[in-house]
Chains A and B, each alone.
Chain A
Amino acid sequence: MRLPLLALLARGPAHGYELKQDLEQLLGAAYPQPNVGQIYVTLGRLEKSGLIEGEEVEQSSRPNKKIYHLTDAGREALHAWYEETSDEPRVRDEFFMKLALAPRTGLADQIALINKQRREYLNTMRNLSKLAAAESRDNRISQLLIEGAMLHLQADLDWLERCQEELEELE
């Protein structure tokens, strides 16, 4: 959450609650509601490491609020973030190890494992479809996020299918 918060501050100063709202608006239902407490904790850490600075602003009827802005170091960190490419998503390694080791343990049948895993993925896929249907079609960022998750899952399902094809031949 550190860098997205820095990125939201690139446009100008804001307080914690505004940042939460910005995130919600940007990502819509696709993103599990950002927890405001988590945002304040992260902002505290960012301030400690000198990437942002907060200024207390007095409010007449409410407690003071803190408005944050990026420091030079923060802007630098954000530049670096955009410079580097992101890591590739990883294969579902836990399932893979289960599958690979199943014959040695004698505790599980590989095809049964694949079928079980496929059901799980299909249900998740279904939930993602529902999420996409529930989200406004105008929120492109949110729709793209969901579509990305679905395409990844599609690849995982295709891969399960390959496993099943190969392993069924051996039986």
Chain B
Amino acid sequence: MNRATPRTAASGTATPRTAASGTAASRAGAPSPRPEDSDTPLLRAEGLVKTHYGEGAPAHAVRGVDLSVRQGEFVAVTGPSGAGKSTLLHLLGGLQRPGSGSLWLDGECTDAYSEARWAVERRRRIGIVFQFFNLVSNLSVADNVELPALLAGLSPRQARTEREQLLDELGLAGKERSMPGELSGGEQQRVALARALVNHPRLLLADEPAGSLDSKGTREVTRLLSRFHQRGQTIVLVTHDARLASAADRVISFFDGRIADDAVLDTAPARGTGISGVLELRD
């Protein structure tokens, strides 16, 4: 998402954007305006393949994945560990490059992106949260969140305002001067979420965000992701936690480097059958 006017860049609403798009794009030498109507998927992958070559036999982590994520969608990718789901997410965020296949962001092909260009995208259009938070341990909570905003070109004052808003929203007001190591896992993940969202990215990628949290922390992360999603944030989440996955609109089951199932979940309000059976208290 361009952010010529940072304060108005509400994280991904479904409104078609008619304003001249992409300061990021033009800066990186892709002057042609992107089509940003709602038909263009925010993310599209075709034939993605990634094989890890290390010692022993090559590991086929991702074996031909086609995927399309619409603006405002919340997609969860689940599957056993080692199925390649994290590798898939890394491909989507440009943290790893595919062996073959192509990826489009907002209709723009990323095949020719350099590392530097991907780094810019991860500051502007893509926010990422990881299982182990990856906060900078010798920076305060406030600095961890403000840093990417400053790197993206916000003034210190704007960065502070953004940070205050987010930390408040995430229930971390009063923690801004703490160091990451002084916080619980759940709190650190919330800081990481604030950092990922501070530049209002169009796409939020989350790699096992509850993977090192307890049941309570998992619930908290689930609740927050749902809340941002309800405001229009597009999210792609990798998780082995079904509770977290069920917060998504769509769940992709990933086995052995391939999509085994791609299911759109009910959006209707709670039906009787499923739940009442599960919650039945018997004599």
- Which A residues lie at the B interface, using CB under 8 A? 1-4, 27, 30-32, 111, 115, 118-133, 145-147, 149-154, 157-158, 161-162, 164-165, 168
Contact = CB atoms under 8 A, between A and B. Distances in A.
A32 B282 CA distance: 12
Consensus secondary structure, chain A interface: helix
B256 A129 contact: no
Given A111-B260, A129-B247, A145-B279, A124 B274 contact: yes
B255 A164 contact: yes
Given A118-B263, A127-B270, A158-B242, 19 more contacts: A1-B283, A3-B283, A32-B276, A32-B279, A115-B260, A115-B261, A119-B261, A122-B265, A123-B266, A123-B274, A125-B243, A128-B278, A132-B219, A146-B279, A154-B241, A158-B240, A161-B78, A161-B240, A164-B255
B278 A149 contact: yes
B15 interface: no
B215 A168 contact: no
A129 B279 contact: no
B279 A125 contact: no
Contacts of B215: 147, 151
12 contacts: A1-B281, A4-B281, A120-B274, A122-B265, A123-B266, A125-B242, A127-B271, A127-B275, A129-B222, A154-B242, A161-B80, A168-B255
Contacts of B222: 129
Interface residues of B, number: 36
B207 to A, nearest CB: 18
Contacts of A147: 215, 219
Interface of B: 78-80, 215, 219, 222-223, 226, 240-243, 245-247, 251, 253, 255-256, 260-261, 263, 265-266, 269-272, 274-276, 278-281, 283
Contacts of B79: 161
Contacts of B243: 125, 129, 150-151, 154
Contacts, number: 99
B242 A121 contact: yes
Given A125-B246, A127-B271, A154-B243, A164 B219 contact: no
Q: Which 3 A-B pairs rank lowest in CB-CB distance, beginning with the nearest? A: A124-B274, A125-B246, A157-B242
B253 A118 contact: yes
A1 B263 CA distance: 37
Contact of B275 (A131, A157, A164): A131
A122 B255 contact: no
Contacts of B253: 115, 118, 164
